[in-house]
Every structure is written in structure tokens, then in C-alpha cells.
């Protein structure tokens, strides 16, 4: 962790000794995890614990309408879940230990889609998207479960220009660092969707694209889960350590 330094003088008898206090900076990065459709915070908890060990404050949460057999799953809309995400972000932002200029959002599938839109509404420095899904802008307030799945499959099978989709337009505006993680055998998010996202990040500070070989959309096998954890933790480590070294160098100037 980056430290702050403060030089002092220590007087003993009639002489003075030079000393330097070194203390950890009071603010640390924040990381917000956003699960996919029908999921929960449960699968994010282990990864969040690992990343918290790097010196970050992490927040996981459950989107409304995603608990199994909940009647709300039939009525919840993208607008409502985006408001959920904003509320969770604001909760993390208020944490007293957070460096509000150093917030990462880690989204999966539907949560990744919403996370891109969040970047137009709240400051996000680092954005991790695993198998980000894509939806038409139309029917924004229609319950998510009532969207036409066959139509979505056709839409995702094409390369969508960034200016024609709200989420991709958000990616076009994003200036931070991006991690884009693809599953090789994804039946819900085809490579064309991943490439639509990748093409949209024209102004990102950096873009890291990784493919998990043999993985399906939900990472149902343990090896795929471990591979994703390794990719995410390594990337977050690089981003957090890089930011701390940068602040240290700025302090020296």
C-alpha cells in the first residue's frame, strides 16, 4: 500500500535527530460487484474477499427480482435494476475509507451490461465485464422476463455499432481501464456481442481481452471459475498497484 511521509526532528538532550514518519494513506480503492440475471452476490463473495486482501473495500449485493422463485422476477425491469446499481454504488462511495477517484465495477452478464450504463451516471475508473449481455434500447421499462429471447439472440449475433445502443455508447465514452472476459463456449453471449463491446471501447485508457478456453456462460466447471478468478485478481492487482505507484510518483514531484 502506498505510504505518506512526513519528516520530523527528535530532540534528545541538547541534540537533534532527523526522523521520518511513514504511514499508510487513509483512502483505498473501492470495488463494486454486480451479478448476472438470476444470480446473486453469493458467487462474488470469495473473489471479493481475495480482492479486499489487496487493500480494497469491496461491496457485493443482490439486485431486486433475482431471488429464486421470487414473484418480483416476473416484473422487475432494467430501469429498476439500474436504480439498484446506482444505490449500491452510492453506498460504496459513502464508505469513509474509499478513495472516491478509485472505484472499480466488476459486472457479469446482465450485471456487466448495466455496469456500462452506470459509467455515464457515476465516476468509474476501472471496468471489468465478464460475458456482457446486450439488449435493444427499446422496451427499457418492460419486465426483463418478458423480452423476446429469440429476438435478443438474433440481435446479439450481429455486430452492433456503438452509436445504436445505449450500453455500447457508454463504452464509447469510457476513458478508464477495461477488462473484457469471454467464455469460449458461450451459448447466450456469442463472440459477435463481445466484439461489439470491444469495438466500442475506442477511448479506453487500456483494454485487456481474455478468453477462458472451454468455459460456458455460467462457468459451471471449477477450472473455468478458477481461471476467471485468476484473471480478475491479477488485473485488479495491476490496476490498484499501478494507481498507488502513480500517486507515489506524483507525491515526489
CATH of the domain at 125: 3.40.50.1820
Checking DSSP bridges between strand 15-24 and strand 98-108, what pairing results, if any?
Answer: unpaired
Residue 118 lies inside a defined structural domain of this protein: yes
pLDDT band at 154 (very low <50, low <70, confident <90, very high): very high
pLDDT band at 38 (very low <50, low <70, confident <90, very high): confident
Q: Which range (36-50, 185-199, 209-223) has the least confidence?
A: 36-50
- Residue 219: which domain range? 29-252
**pTM, to two decimals:** 0.87
List the Cα angle 167/117/72 in 5-degree steps: 100
Domain count, the chain: 1
CB burial of 182-194 (b: ≥16 within 10 Å; e: otherwise) equals bbeebebbbeebb
How confident is the model at residue 39, as a pLDDT? 86
Residue 151 lies inside a defined structural domain of this protein: yes
Element of type H or E holding 226: helix 222-252
Residue 67 lies inside a defined structural domain of this protein: yes
Name the nearest CA neighbour of 135 among 100, 174, 165, 179: 165
Element of type H or E holding 117: helix 110-118
Residue 146 lies inside a defined structural domain of this protein: yes
List the Cα angle 66/215/155 in 5-degree steps: 65
Percentage with pLDDT > 90 across the chain: 71
Residue 21 lies inside a defined structural domain of this protein: no
Residue 15 lies inside a defined structural domain of this protein: no
Q: What is the mean pLDDT of residues 120-128?
A: 98
Alpha helices in the chain (DSSP H): 42-52, 78-93, 110-118, 149-156, 166-173, 191-200, 222-252
d(CA 161, CA 141): 23
Residue 1 lies inside a defined structural domain of this protein: no
How confident is the model at residue 251, as a pLDDT? 36
Which residues have C-beta within 8 Å of that of residue 210, sequence separation ≥ 6?
179, 180, 181, 182, 231
Residue 9 lies inside a defined structural domain of this protein: no
Amino acid at each position: 500500500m502506498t505510504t505518506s511521509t512526513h519528516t520530523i526532528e527528535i530532540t534528545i538532550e541538547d541534540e537533534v535527530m532527523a526522523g521520518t514518519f511513514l504511514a499508510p494513506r487513509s483512502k483505498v480503492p473501492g470495488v463494486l460487484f454486480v451479478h448476472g440475471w438470476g444470480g446473486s452476490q453469493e458467487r462474488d463473495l470469495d473473489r471479493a474477499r481475495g480482492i479486499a486482501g489487496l487493500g480494497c473495500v469491496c461491496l457485493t449485493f443482490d439486485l431486486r427480482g433475482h431471488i429464486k422463485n421470487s414473484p418480483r422476477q416476473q416484473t422487475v425491469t432494467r430501469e429498476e435494476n439500474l436504480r439498484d446499481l446506482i444505490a449500491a454504488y452510492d453506498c460504496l462511495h459513502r464508505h469513509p475509507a474509499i478513495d472516491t477517484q478509485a472505484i472499480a465495477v466488476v459486472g457479469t452478464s446482465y450485471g456487466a451490461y448495466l455496469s456500462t450504463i452506470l459509467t455515464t451516471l457515476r465516476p468509474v475508473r476501472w471496468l471489468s465485464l465478464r460475458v456482457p449481455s446486450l439488449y435493444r434500447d427499446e422496451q427499457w421499462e418492460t419486465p426483463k422476463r418478458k423480452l423476446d429471447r429469440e429476438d435478443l439472440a438474433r440481435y446479439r449475433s450481429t455486430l452492433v455499432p456503438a452509436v445504436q445502443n445505449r450500453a455500447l455508447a457508454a463504452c464509447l465514452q469510457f476513458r478508464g481501464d477495461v477488462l473484457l472476459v469471454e467464455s469460449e463456449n458461450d451459448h447466450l453471449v456469442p463472440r459477435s456481442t463481445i466484439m461489439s463491446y470491444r469495438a466500442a471501447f475506442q477511448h479506453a485508457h487500456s483494454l485487456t481481452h481474455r478468453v477462458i478456453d472451454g468455459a460456458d456462460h455460467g462457468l459451471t466447471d471449477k477450472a473455468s471459475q478458477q481461471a476467471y478468478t485468476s484473471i480478475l485478481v491479477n488485473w485488479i492487482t495491476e490496476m490498484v498497484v499501478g494507481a498507488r505507484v502513480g500517486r507515489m510518483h506524483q507525491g515526489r514531484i
